[in-house]
Amino acid sequence: MSVQGKRVVLAVTGGIAAFKSASLASQLTQAGAKVQVMMTKAAKEFIAPLTFQALTRSRVYDDTFREENPEEIAHIDVADEADVIVVAPATADAIARMAQGHADDMVTTTLLATKAPVFVSPAMNVNMYHHPAVQKNLQTLADRGVKMLEAGDGYLACGWVGKGRMAEPVEIQNALEAFFTKPLTLQGVHVLVTAGPTREMADPVRFLSNPSSGRMGFAIAEEAARRGAEVTLIAGPVELSTPPEVHRVNVVSAEEMYNAVTKHLSAEAIVVKTAAVSDYRPKTYQAQKAKKEDGETVLELERTPDILKMLGEQKEAQFLVGFAAETDEVETYAKDKLERKNLDMVVANDITADGAGFAGDTNEVMIMTKEETHRLPALTKRETSVQIWDAVEQNRCKGQG
């Protein structure tokens, strides 16, 4: 399947790269897409709405309050009918407004109202692009499931050379073609993913936990759903949006996660346990907050349920994938975990390495089975999830063959 027949909403914001959006609108229209253009007030300073109207042969939406049809609420109708929304160019201001949830023009109100997937193509000065505020806003959007079209390097309109060019129209079209050409290789397969940390409460305000962000697990759940799987995501306390087509179960403690896994495990599921479950919990819970004035205290700990061990012991037809976050002798400990817990595959990484820790958007892992070890370069967690699923499918087919 391609973009033919798809309703593509193109949101144009106020940057000089808006001229590229005209080419994009033309290319998508020629490819058979039904292109609906929205423009911000600033975008009209760079390119006229009439240009897009001529290229797409459709009305251009540029004013939330100008309703030509009294039976229509434009931003709701556009949001509901969209198969995908592409924000290109996405200026620093537009990205900030999206991240903060603004709703005061046609573009922002539509983005808040839509359930369609959203692609963003940043375009700005190189220093603006690398500013921590912009990077934080991009990460916020990515955590909500917005798909990023990476900015290009090169000569910028401001005279600087560096990263900040809007992706070329052909690159954006290719990304959309790839998105709509879904290989449903996991259609009908039940997938169970655990993600994030757990919290083991000591009193009403204190707990034992770890810095797991849940991003790797959420990326894995999203990719599985994209391949057609029926996905259940059991998530610890994280601030991430649920990926499309994923059933989410929220838990807090290791005990709750254990119970949720037991409840939702199916006989022939693929289980990917990325969650960083606390190994220990306070032996007793204090109903009242401990005070400094109480002096020194000793916190007695006990082991939490070993979810992965339980899964390995009870495994029948399931394909079981574990994660090993280590600080030294990564391959040795990962191989031991693979054997000791009866896993089909383990994904291991050194959390002390640059770009491979809990909180970042990148990871550098090795994928291990009993037969082989495959080392991946540093990739985004979304890219890593694709590689992991490719490996799972390949090895699962071997086991079934």
Largest CA distance in the chain: 76
Please give the positions annotated as active site: 158
Domain termination site, one of 140, 157, 180: 180
Do 268 and 170 sit in the same domain of this protein?
A: no
- 307 marked among binding-site residues: yes
- 337 marked among binding-site residues: yes
Do 371 and 276 sit in the same domain of this protein?
A: yes
Residue type for position 157: A
Do 194 and 157 sit in the same domain of this protein?
A: no
Indicate the burial class of 296 (C-beta count within 10 angstroms; 0-12, 13-18, 19 or more).
exposed
Taken in order 123, 171, 116, 236, is the CA torsion positive or negative? Answer: negative
Model confidence over 176-233: pLDDT tens digits? 998 888 778 999 999 999 999 999 999 999 999 998 999 999 999 999 998 999 999 9
What average pLDDT does the structure give for the chain?
91
pTM score above 0.75: no
Residue 308 backbone zone (phi > 0: left; psi -120 to 50: alpha; other: beta): alpha
Do 205 and 167 sit in the same domain of this protein?
A: no
Do 229 and 162 sit in the same domain of this protein?
A: no
Distance spanning both ends of the chain, measured CA to CA: 29
Is 60 exceeded by the pLDDT of residue 1?
no
Do 291 and 363 sit in the same domain of this protein?
A: yes
- 323 marked among binding-site residues: yes
Domain termination site, one of 180, 199, 223: 180
Do 384 and 321 sit in the same domain of this protein?
A: yes
- 306 marked among binding-site residues: yes
3-state secondary structure at position 51: helix
Q: What percent of the chain has pLDDT over 70?
A: 97
Do 315 and 275 sit in the same domain of this protein?
A: yes
Q: Would you say residue 159 lies in a domain?
A: yes
Provide the CB-side half-sphere exposure for 247 (13 A, CA).
Answer: 9
Q: Would you say residue 1 lies in a domain?
A: no
Q: Would you say residue 2 lies in a domain?
A: no
Domain containing 329 equals: 190-400
Alpha-carbon distance of 121 to 89, in angstroms, equals 6
Residue 163's φ and ψ, nearest 5 degrees, are -80, 135
Domain termination site, one of 133, 162, 180: 180
Q: What percent of the chain has pLDDT over 90?
A: 70
Q: Would you say residue 268 lies in a domain?
A: yes
Do 158 and 244 sit in the same domain of this protein?
A: no
The listed range with the strongest mean pLDDT (134-143, 289-298, 345-354) is: 134-143
Specify the pLDDT at position 67: 66
Alpha-carbon distance of 312 to 318, in angstroms, equals 9
CATH number of the domain to which 32 belongs: 3.40.50.1950
Nearest to 376 by CA among 365, 389, 392, 388: 365
Rg for the chain, CA atoms, rounded? 24
CATH number of the domain to which 308 belongs: 3.40.50.10300
Tokens (6 digits) for 13: 């914001």
Do 199 and 334 sit in the same domain of this protein?
A: yes
Alpha-carbon distance of 22 to 156, in angstroms, equals 18
Alpha-carbon distance of 162 to 151, in angstroms, equals 10
Specify the pLDDT at position 400: 58
Other beta carbons within 10 Å of 295:
7
Model confidence over 149-158: pLDDT tens digits? 988 878 888 8
Model confidence over 238-286: pLDDT tens digits? 988 888 789 999 999 999 999 999 999 987 789 999 999 999 999 999 8
Q: Would you say residue 206 lies in a domain?
A: yes
Q: Would you say residue 185 lies in a domain?
A: no
- 305 marked among binding-site residues: yes
Q: Residue 20: which pLDDT band, with cuts at 50, 70 and 90?
A: very high
Q: Per the omega criterion (within 30 degrees of 0), is the bond before 70 cis?
A: no
Q: Would you say residue 29 lies in a domain?
A: yes
Do 50 and 105 sit in the same domain of this protein?
A: yes
Model confidence over 311-364: pLDDT tens digits? 999 998 899 999 998 888 888 999 999 999 999 999 998 888 876 677 677 888
Q: Could you tell me if 347 and 322 are in contact, meaning their C-beta atoms sit under 8 angstroms apart?
A: yes
Indicate the burial class of 21 (C-beta count within 10 angstroms; 0-12, 13-18, 19 or more).
buried
- 279 marked among binding-site residues: yes
Q: Could you tell me if 109 and 3 are in contact, meaning their C-beta atoms sit under 8 angstroms apart?
A: no
Domains of the chain: total: 2
3-state secondary structure at position 248: strand
